[in-house]
Copies of this chain bind each other. A is one copy, B any other.
């Protein structure tokens, strides 16, 4: 199951669409340069192709639990060791605690390749980095000194313990308790579910970040605190001490990502797990939000990455498989199925959406870097608003489409796609979680229409649509008629929806919410079309230059045109459903479903 990291494409998106040079010029990223990033991409690609991709299929067999101890899937422990030795864990970890402090934009490009190669594996570093981010921003210097260096190196991994059986995404319902002890630590008790890489044998220690309530905490989300609960306690000299009172009581039997053990974790079965308060009491939820942006962006990239891998597999099969005469040909000899128009339509559907998703995700990552580092406050704020608006779209759209795109990859394989040995079914199964965890698409969409659109009077939405229209004008001037007119029309439909949301959310929020997911998808399509329009214009310009890869640039333009002609027209139907269809979403009595 070969994976070819699309380094040329990634480089194009980084340099041209996300403007890497300007990110490298931000304060604190002085060490970053296009040349360094090129080298990082080459090495990350090699690692993805050579180490992670080959063990992805065997990872599907899953980790195993014996008496509270989880053994990672075959080959994973060794791959982790190599990953750690190569220094990959700390790529975007803070430089002051042993990380490399690279921009989010660079990290996300490497993360794409690792996720494509092996989604289940890549969740271990992604979760670890999330924990690093939370600790770095909110924990005391003491705790940072103990935990960050060894998490940034990958010697220890990290987890997020949020969900409880009764509480799904509704963290107001969290019941786990933490009782203060005389020495300043806490004793944590409770049960957490869906803990990704909650227990395994790849690292010496596992640092759980756990949401729990203090005895006197107020009800709801304002009474949640964040604790560090290590699997092994850490002695004063930094060596590992006693086993903490936290254990894995079972592993979930899941539809996909079998290589990543999803644990039910029990804290305090024997009196209480020792934990350490991160930051202030009752502020845990806010601390979680700190890492939410990168985490949600990361999951959006996961969805796109699995689609990319599935696309590659489908292309390979479509080139090799000979079946049926060419449509309309008198010659009865079979041809490679890539010659069949519907196979091409499926491949172009995958290809064009993946390129649009990558462009939008990387553009968002660059905005994330600018939001946190830009020296001009107004620019930082503008970029923060972009991040806020774009993250739910990248998370929601990329992952919803991952279900459809990996399904197309199965379809290209015909009957062979349904046979597990073929391998493409694994991508279909693995992708399915991405639209669910880190906030379902419904949660992303509510966030998008409420805090990200209504609360700011649609300012960012309209600014982005203005940019899309400006690109459409340039496309028209360049002679790309269908791209120009379809993007203009789609932007106009999007405006209509923004106006509808602004007009309803305040007084009749149920009407706005009824079309929230269609609105998220609509914005994904419009903004994806905008990014591909930008890409086509840049490719057109570069085509006149010396030494360029003409095939690559021409393919970019064709792909952008396909997206404009096949995806952008879907916007009209979505807008109609959003603006004219809200009542019929809400009308049926609950009892009549």
Point out residues on A near B: beta carbons under 8 Å: 163, 167-170, 172-173, 193-194, 220, 252-256, 315, 318-319, 321, 323-324, 327-328, 332, 334, 336, 338-345, 347-348, 351, 403-404, 407, 410-411, 414-415, 417-421, 425, 428-429, 432-433, 435-437, 440-442, 445-446, 482, 486, 508-510, 513-518, 551-552, 554-555, 558-559, 561-562, 565-566, 569-574, 576-577, 580-582, 584-593
For residue A314, give the distance in angstroms from its CB to the closest CB of chain B: 9
Tell me the bound Cα distance from A446 to B255 in angstroms.
33
Q: Are A586 and B442 in contact (CB under 8 A)?
A: no
Instruction: Write 13 A-B pairs (CB below 8 A) sorted by A numbering.
Output: A318-B593, A328-B509, A328-B510, A342-B442, A342-B517, A404-B404, A411-B440, A414-B436, A418-B433, A551-B591, A551-B592, A555-B592, A566-B577
What chain B residues lie within 8 Å of A433 (beta carbons)? 418
What chain B residues lie within 8 Å of A589 (beta carbons)? 551, 555
For residue A235, give the distance in angstroms from its CB to the closest CB of chain B: 36
Q: A420-B253, A432-B418 are in contact. Are A442 and B340 (CB under 8 A)?
A: yes
Q: Are B588 and A517 in contact (CB under 8 A)?
A: no
What chain B residues lie within 8 Å of A340 (beta carbons)? 442, 513
Q: Are B414 and A407 in contact (CB under 8 A)?
A: no
What chain B residues lie within 8 Å of A571 (beta carbons)? 573
Q: Which 9 A-B residue pairings sit nearest by Cβ, starting from the closest?
A: A328-B509, A565-B581, A569-B576, A341-B513, A569-B573, A342-B442, A570-B573, A562-B584, A341-B514
What chain B residues lie within 8 Å of A403 (beta carbons)? 407
Tell me the bound Cα distance from A589 to B348 in angstroms.
11
For residue A159, give the distance in angstroms from its CB to the closest CB of chain B: 15
What chain B residues lie within 8 Å of A516 (beta carbons)? 341-342
Q: Are B586 and A344 in contact (CB under 8 A)?
A: yes
Q: A327-B510, A340-B513 are in contact. Are A584 and B570 (CB under 8 A)?
A: no
Q: A510-B327, A584-B566 are in contact. Are A163 and B341 (CB under 8 A)?
A: no
Give the dominant DSSP class at A's interface. Answer: helix
What chain B residues lie within 8 Å of A587 (beta carbons)? 558, 561-562
Question: How many identical chains are in the complex?
Answer: 2
Q: A432-B410, A509-B327 are in contact. Are A482 and B580 (CB under 8 A)?
A: yes
What chain B residues lie within 8 Å of A565 (beta carbons)? 576-577, 580-581, 584
Kindly report which residue of chain B lies nearest to residue A562, judged by CB atoms: B584
For residue A339, give the distance in angstroms from its CB to the closest CB of chain B: 7
Given A253-B420, A348-B585, 13 more pairs with CB closer than 8 A = A168-B321, A168-B415, A220-B332, A253-B419, A254-B418, A319-B590, A327-B446, A342-B445, A418-B433, A551-B591, A555-B589, A561-B587, A566-B577
What chain B residues lie within 8 Å of A255 (beta carbons)? 410, 418-420, 425, 428-429
Tell me the bound Cα distance from A328 to B566 in angstroms.
36
One of B339, B570, B580, B592 near A570 (C-beta < 8 A): B570
For residue A345, give the distance in angstroms from its CB to the closest CB of chain B: 5
Q: Are A513 and B437 in contact (CB under 8 A)?
A: no
Tell me the bound Cα distance from A154 to B509 in angstroms.
57
One of B432, B482, B572 near A569 (C-beta < 8 A): B572
Q: Are A338 and B570 in contact (CB under 8 A)?
A: no
What chain B residues lie within 8 Å of A559 (beta carbons)? 588
Q: A565-B580, A565-B581 are in contact. Are A593 and B351 (CB under 8 A)?
A: yes
Q: A440-B414, A442-B343, A571-B573 are in contact. Are A558 and B584 (CB under 8 A)?
A: yes
For residue A529, give the distance in angstroms from its CB to the closest CB of chain B: 13
Kindly report which residue of chain B lies nearest to residue A435, judged by CB atoms: B411
Tell me the bound Cα distance from A531 to B565 in angstroms.
30
Kindly report which residue of chain B lies nearest to residue A489, judged by CB atoms: B576
One of B428, B574, B582, B591 near A432 (C-beta < 8 A): B428
What chain B residues lie within 8 Å of A347 (beta carbons)? 593
Q: Are A581 and B593 in contact (CB under 8 A)?
A: no
Q: Are B351 and A172 in contact (CB under 8 A)?
A: no
Tell me the bound Cα distance from A571 to B555 in angstroms.
28
Tell me the bound Cα distance from A410 to B576 in angstroms.
26
What chain B residues lie within 8 Å of A254 (beta carbons)? 418-420
Q: Are A566 and B593 in contact (CB under 8 A)?
A: no
Tell me the bound Cα distance from A559 to B421 in angstroms.
41
Most buried by B among A256, A340, A509, A588: A588
Q: Are B562 and A569 in contact (CB under 8 A)?
A: no
For residue A352, give the distance in angstroms from its CB to the closest CB of chain B: 9
Tell me the bound Cα distance from A428 to B254 in angstroms.
13
What chain B residues lie within 8 Å of A435 (beta carbons)? 411
What chain B residues lie within 8 Å of A445 (beta carbons)? 342
Most buried by B among A554, A566, A574: A566
For residue A583, give the distance in angstroms from its CB to the closest CB of chain B: 8
What chain B residues lie within 8 Å of A341 (beta carbons)? 510, 513-514, 516, 582, 585-586
